[in-house]
């Protein structure tokens, strides 16, 4: 063994470089491989956060209450009671968290890109309609809850708030993690506060299709659930907030899902969950942790390009009629279709592709 070790020391320089290169490949020390592993880790932690962090933190807190460290859990619960309404009042964003390096690795895994088409005035408030939902809304999170794609540089003076299920903010620790990224509950109290008591330059991102849309997302399909989704338009009219259509090309490509037909037992179960709990359980898979050829929870490395369209000027009407809501909803639908048609060929879709609006 000593002879082998010494021979490694005294080899000619060219041979030494070859050995070092081989060792780097063997132990994943090359820069590209290290970066790829960091990308995988960054995406995996977010997927686990999305799926289990809320339940896991609740169970851990309950366990701590039954141990000698119960005082820690009691202190946190007391803080939770005191801080309960913070998510409804704009939350508690952290620029430090939004700028974590882990989000840049998250971005590069796919990669994810944010495209700006028009300037946004800081004297106005906005409601972004994000389409499609996909399985996890990966593009929505990366673009608007982190600074990985430069949203603050592309839209200076605009504060983005990604709206998600209110139930997430009842989960200990998870609620604080979500708020640090500028995420808020998708309910009327929260949105009313941000658009009426938080000044101007606010942009609330609502994934309009929600759980219903997630049930139909599958690679190769571009469809949105929008025809009967008009609540966001009514909110925009009540606050005079401009509507901005947003389409993410590639959002449906990163997971494969089992689609249950209408009337099947599987779809019945999904709709029951959606009605009573707020989300619909999907049977889906991505790639494995160690190989793209195996099944797992990691999404596939497919590009996601989020295009922010032209704002639609909305008047302030305290009590908009259904006719007024329908009028501006129709304008919004037309704008979204035009946005899709304008950029579809640029981001890999054929000119014949049609956006299906359900």
> Rounded distance, CA 168 to CA 149, Å?
25
- Entry pTM: 0.87
Using one digit for the tens of pLDDT, what is the confidence trace for 154-198?
A: 999 999 999 999 989 999 999 999 999 999 999 999 999 999 988
Give the model's pLDDT for residue 30.
75
Give the model's pLDDT for residue 13.
43
Pairing of strands 242-249, 223-224: unpaired
Give the model's pLDDT for residue 88.
93
Give the model's pLDDT for residue 29.
58
For the chain, list the domains and their CATH numbers: 37-357 (3.40.1130)
Q: Dihedrals φ, ψ of 296, to 5°?
A: -175, -165
First to last CA, the chain: 70
Question: Are 207 and 130 in contact, with CB atoms under 8 Å apart?
Answer: yes
| Torsion angle defined by CA atoms of residues 176, 179, 249 and 291, in that order, rounded to the nearest 10 degrees | -20
Question: Are 126 and 311 in contact, with CB atoms under 8 Å apart?
Answer: yes
Residue with tokens 């005079």: 240
Give the model's pLDDT for residue 273.
76
Question: Are 317 and 235 in contact, with CB atoms under 8 Å apart?
Answer: no
Residue with tokens 């330059």: 201
Residue stretches of the chain with pLDDT short of 50: 1-16, 22-23, 26, 28
**Mean residue pLDDT across the chain:** 89
Question: What count of residues does the chain have?
Answer: 358
Give the model's pLDDT for residue 80.
95
């Amino acid at each position: 063994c000593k002879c082998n070790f010494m021979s490694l020391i005294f080899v000619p320089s060219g041979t030494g470089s070859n050995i070092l290169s081989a060792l780097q490949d063997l132990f994943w020390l090359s820069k590209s491989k290290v970066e790829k592993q960091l990308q995988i880790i960054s995406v995996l932690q977010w997927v686990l956060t999305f799926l289990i962090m809320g339940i896991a933190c609740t169970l851990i807190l309950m366990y701590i209450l039954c141990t000698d460290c119960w005082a820690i859990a009691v202190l946190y619960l007391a803080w939770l009671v005191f801080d309960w309404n913070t998510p409804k009042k704009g939350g508690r964003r952290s620029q430090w968290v939004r700028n974590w390096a882990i989000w840049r690795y998250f971005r590069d895994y796919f990669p994810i890109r944010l495209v700006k088409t028009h300037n946004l005035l800081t004297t106005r408030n906005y409601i972004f309609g994000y389409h499609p939902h996909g399985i996890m809304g990966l593009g929505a999170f990366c673009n608007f809850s982190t600074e990985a794609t430069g949203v603050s540089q592309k839209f200076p003076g605009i504060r983005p708030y990604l709206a998600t299920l209110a139930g997430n903010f009842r989960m200990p620790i998870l609620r604080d993690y979500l708020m640090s990224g500028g995420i808020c509950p998708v309910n009327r109290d929260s949105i009313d506060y941000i658009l009426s008591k938080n000044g101007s330059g606010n942009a609330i991102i609502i994934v309009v299709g929600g759980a219903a849309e997630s049930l139909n997302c599958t690679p190769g399909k571009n469809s949105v659930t929008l025809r009967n989704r008009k609540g966001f338009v009514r909110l925009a009219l009540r606050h005079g907030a401009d509507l901005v259509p947003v389409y993410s090309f590639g959002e449906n490509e990163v997971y494969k899902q089992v689609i249950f037909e209408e009337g099947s037992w599987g779809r019945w179960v999904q709709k029951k969950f959606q009605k009573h709990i707020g989300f619909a359980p999907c049977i889906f898979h991505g790639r494995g942790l160690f190989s793209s050829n195996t099944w797992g929870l990691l999404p596939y490395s497919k590009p996601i390009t989020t295009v922010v369209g032209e704002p639609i000027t909305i008047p302030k009407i305290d009590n908009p009629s259904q006719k007024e809501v329908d009028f501006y909803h129709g304008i919004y639908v037309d704008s979204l279709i035009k946005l899709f048609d304008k950029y579809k060929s640029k981001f890999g879709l054929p000119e014949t592709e049609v956006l299906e609006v359900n």
